[in-house]
Structure 1
Amino acid sequence: MASNLASSDKPISESSSRCLTECLSTAHNFEIIRFSLLEGMGAGKFISSSKFRVGGYDWKIRIYPDGWKEEDKAAYMSVFLCFCSRPARDAKVKFTLSLLAKDGKVRSVHSTTHTFQETGQQKEGNYWGWREFIEKPKLQELLSVNDDCFTIRCVLTVIKEPHTEDVSTVVVPVPESNLHAHFANMLKDGKGVDVKFSVGGQLFSAHRCVLAARSPVFKAKLYGQMKETTMKCVKIDDMEPSVFKALLHFIYTDSLPSKNRDVDENTALQHQLVAADRYGLDRLKAMCEGKLCQSIDVQTVAITLALAEQHNSVQLKNACLGYLCLQDVLRVVKETDGFKHLITSCPWIMMDILEKVGPPSRV
């Protein structure tokens, strides 16, 4: 008895499996214009859409204006889905055929599931659908208020063969990438640093190989023929320490630094864009450019436009010019200090403004 209890207390081994059925879907719209000219072509005669591909097979929509059979001629329009490929195996599909008016509203809809079977010598003509898709009187009523046109929309899903798999061999939880966190910690703890930068009286430590991998300018400075290749401390002129710190943050983490409440975000982005352009960091430049495009206003547009012109930021320039085209904006912007800086630093930009805003007399 004791032996039986001990045996029952042992853990039971488990395994799992699951059945997956994959499917591929698409929609095709077949527009019919001047349908009345198609009537009278005869029962069994059809028009076809262009081919569309789903699940490795080709398909068409067939419309029989005078019906599929002679007895349908005066009563119905017939619509079918046509299978146009030679299948390697049966093709199971779920499809819906809808008749849409010009306003997009559905006036007739039919759905079904069907298997197009392998037939050896497959020829175009393996089709499935509805002989009585819509009654002719209802269709004529629609055409009379719809400019003699309509659209047949097919939403088609190809259902693949189900397969069973062992869950234990495929379900492996993969953690989120934390590469950026590792690099951020490497910059923060200072282990392995081999170069220092003096920026505005502050010192910053970094790893030559990381800087060179991320920036072609740093690569040339630190591993090229420049004197910085042998220097233990490199001096950076014309840059604020906070900007260089943000630059290092991006180089190590591929992201912008967190917002600093003590610093105007727009000004910080402008300085970071200049630094990104200086060191060939195209992704950082584009990120700054995108954020600056979203923060253009009367007080910032002139300075931002000058910045965009000086650093070849085409999208930012176009955004600024577009903002200046708004009613009465230019008149107000002309009174700002930023505008005075703009016409002093980039006088040629006035031609672009005039082309966008209006004749010279308005400026």
Structure 2
Amino acid sequence: MAEQCKISAAMVSEERSFARSYVLKVDGYSRAKAFLETGKCLTSDPFSVGGHDWTVLCYPNGDNRNHAYYISIFLRLESADAGDVKAKFTLSLLDKNGQPVPSYSRASPVLTFSKKDSCLGYPDFFNKADLERSAHLRDDCITIRCDVTVIHGEETRIPPSDLHQHFGDLLENKDAADLIFQVGAQSFSAHRCVLAARSSVFKAELLGTMKESSAANPIEIYDVEADVFKSLLHFIYTDSVPPVLDVGMASHLLVAADRYNIGRLKLICEEKLCTHIDSNMVATSLALAEQHGFHRLKEACLQFLASPSNFKAMMASDGFEHLTSSCPHVLKELVARILPAEWGVAKDVVMTMWK
């Protein structure tokens, strides 16, 4: 049996004495699956992490009958006199380039290995049938990386980033603001360097031809409403939109994000509109998409209007007249989609009427 299939381990990186990564290669996977019944495993050579010896156990047919359709993988503490050892680990199937496959990667929380529970891991690490259909079983071999970190003392709890809060406070308090925007009757203070860092359009304007004039005079904004510009600034400083973003605001913010080339905000707003299409808003959204080149939104609207009942309801909406006057060619495109292919003559007639 040892000559037919084996599991080997090799250390590939070491950051600290208590955190190491190993690559484990299971050669002869099909033979291992054929000869090792459920509950039987292959065991790696021992490797040392954090002053303790460890092995990885691989069960080609699962560790018990409940997991017979899975490959089970466990990390085992081999040091008999270690007492309780806190550790966390990540197991990742590697692709042909040696990179972890996200769908076949599992990361544990901090676990306590003890004499009683010396072997911890994943009995359902991945489904055998799924693996065998994938491209990750190569030359009858699977490769798994095991990242082990031993925790000494209490694990440091790193809080989430609060950078957005600091920049939000900077906007709110107007500390060191060096710009004033006049939007209708409202004025907004801002920071030239922040806007230039977040928007290529602001960068070109504020660090280019407008640099001198904007230092002393308010910058007039004519193409954006005050509440929309306020939300735009909020996103620039905090990378977030209001918790409740209504469709109307999303439409206006989408145009503003396009005007100032703020890509992430464009995607957020377009996603909002694509997932909230109804008969009352679809004509307005379609006109918006056509006029500004929002291709994903346009396609979502056309798919919605492919339903005759939705199309009929859209014709009764307030936005239909605006759509017909501003983008008549879009209606031609829509009609060409919804009429069956065998109605070729009818299509030609309709298209001729719209010329």
TM range (shorter): 0.5 to 0.7
2:14 pairs with 1:56: no
Large movers: runs of 4+ above 4 Å: 20-24, 77-81, 86-92, 105-113, 150-165, 227-231
Aligned equivalents of 1:242, 1:290: Cα separation in 2: 21
CA contact (8 A) 1:21 1:160 kept: no
1:255 to 240, 248, 257: 240
Q: How far apart in 2 are the matches of 1:110 and 1:200?
A: 65
**Structure 1: runs of 5 or more not aligned:** 1-19, 25-54, 65-76, 99-104, 116-149
What residue number does 2:229 align with?
244
Q: Paired residue for 1:199?
A: 183
**Cα distance, 1:80–1:292 mapped onto 2, change above 3 Å:** same
- 1:332 corresponds in structure 2 to 313
Q: How far 1:96 moved relative to its partner?
A: 3.6
Q: CA deviation at 1:93?
A: 2.4
So what's the TM-score if we normalise by structure 1?
A: 0.58
Q: Distance in 1 between matches of 2:73 and 2:204?
A: 65
Please list the CA deviations of residues 278-327 of structure 1 after superposition, one character each: whole Å capped at 9, or x if unmatched.
01111111100011111100000111011112222221111111111124
Q: 1:110–1:251: structure 2 CA closer, same or farther, 3 Å change rule?
A: closer
CA drift of 1:176 comes to 1.7
Deviations 1:319-349 (CA, angstroms, capped at 9, x unpaired)? 1111111242112212222122112111221
Can you list the C-alpha shifts for 1:181-226, whole angstroms capped at 9, x where unaligned?
1111111111101110110121111111111111111111111123
Match of 2:100 in 1: none
Q: Which has the higher contact order (CA 8 A, sep 6+)?
A: 1
Aligned partners of 1:214, 1:285: CA distance in 2, in Å? 13
1:224 aligns with one of 195, 199, 208:
208
Q: 2:300 aligns with which of 314, 319, 325?
A: 319
User: Deviation per CA, 1:249-304, whole angstroms, max 9, x where unpaired?
Assistant: 101110012448xxxx2111110101000011111111000111111000001110
Match of 1:275 in 2: 256
How is 1:125-274 mapped onto 2 (pairs within 5 angstroms)?
A: 165-167=151-153, 171-226=155-210, 228-259=213-244, 265-274=246-255
Mapped partners of 2:45, 2:289: distance in 1? 57
Flag the structure with larger Rg. 1
The 3 A distance-change label for structure 1 pair 267 and 174 is same
Structure 2 counterpart SS, 1:177 = coil
CA contact (8 A) 1:304 1:320 kept: yes
Aligned amino acid, residue 97 of structure 1: N
Q: Is the 8 A contact 1:94 1:158 kept in 2?
A: no
Instruction: Quote the Cα distance in structure 1 between the aligned partners of 2:147 and 2:262.
Output: 48
2: CA distance, partners of 1:194 / 1:309: 37
CA contact (8 A) 1:21 1:159 kept: no
Going from structure 1 to structure 2, the CA distance change for 1:161 and 1:295 (only over 3 Å counts) comes to closer
Q: Residue 350 of structure 1: SS of its match in structure 2?
A: helix
Native 8 Å contact 2:19 2:147 kept in 1: yes
Task: For residues 65-89 of structure 1, give each alpha carbon's deviation from its aligned partner in whole angstroms, at most 9, with x where no partner exists.
Answer: xxxxxxxxxxxx95459x9xx9898
State the alpha-carbon separation in 1 of the partners of residues 302 and 237 from structure 2.
Answer: 34
Structure 2 length-normalised TM: 0.60
> Number of aligned pairs?
254
Instruction: Name the SS for the 2:325 alignment partner.
Output: helix
Distance in 1 (CA, whole Å) between partners of 2:147 and 2:238 is 44
**Structure 1 residues 318 and 158: alpha-carbon distance in aligned structure 2, compared to 1, 3 A threshold:** closer
State the one-letter code of the partner of 1:320. Answer: C
Please tell me the root mean square deviation across aligned C-alpha atoms, in Å.
4.3
CA distance in 2 between counterparts of 1:110 and 1:176 reads 35
